[in-house]
Structure 1
């Protein structure tokens, strides 16, 4: 059974790798492992050791804490007590699986390739359209 924290770490790993446009093979080579191991980390099937997490963080140019962002102290306590359910008021407005979509990653990448002026206008447009929906 996949532990929810291992799954969260794997999802954050995949999100960052995809955001950088990096393949599993390229990431694996940069930390000296096989790409199948990256697949197992991303699915939460295998736990990531502290030393490997450190190497992955360096390869992905993020702090180790990046992999735990989005977990609160209450979430961590609940994880270790067994059943895990996010309290109603603490649920994010965006489902986590949205960030693993190729379309989302492509949109974010294109957004950050814009210069600041057009990026701000696009953000304003998106907010306006979301309010109209």
Structure 2
């Protein structure tokens, strides 16, 4: 049975790979392994060695610590909803960063206003 930390690290690898638009095959070629091994890493089926994690971090342009973000003390993992495992959220994030910065700021402000409206409705209740 996979260890929770291995599963967490694998999810973070998948998240970053998708965010960068990299396929499993492309990542595998960059680190010198087969894409099936990337699949096993991403599901936590196989544990990633320190040297391999180093190679993956370099290939995906993040520090190694990125893969452990959200891991708690004593190897416990945050169990709240994981937005990184949601394909739609990853696609939305990729599209967001493809927008020019000035427009991106306006979109962010709009999203915040909409979420504030939703929070206000949740607190007060819907109007009839």
TM range (shorter): 0.7 to 0.9
The match for 2:87 is 102
* Residues 1:37 and 2:37 are matched in the alignment: yes
Deviation, structure 1 residue 129: 1.1
RMSD of aligned residue pairs (Cα, Å):
1.6
Could you say which structure has the larger radius of gyration?
2
User: Equivalent of 1:126, from 111, 121, 126?
Assistant: 111
The answer to whether the 8 Å contact 2:12/2:84 transfers is: no
Size of the aligned set, in residue pairs, is: 118
5 Å-filtered alignment, 1:17-28, equals 17-28=17-28
Q: What is the CA distance between 1:102 and its match in structure 2?
A: 2.3
Runs of 5+ in structure 1 lacking a partner?
Answer: none
Runs (4 or more) in structure 1 with deviation over 6 Å come to none
User: Could you tell me how far 1:8 is from its partner in structure 2?
Assistant: 0.7
What residue number does 2:47 align with?
A: 47
Alpha-carbon shift at residue 113 of structure 1 (Å): 1.1
TM-score by length of 2: 0.85
Q: Are the equivalent residues in 1 in contact too, given 2:10–2:42 (CA < 8 A)?
A: yes
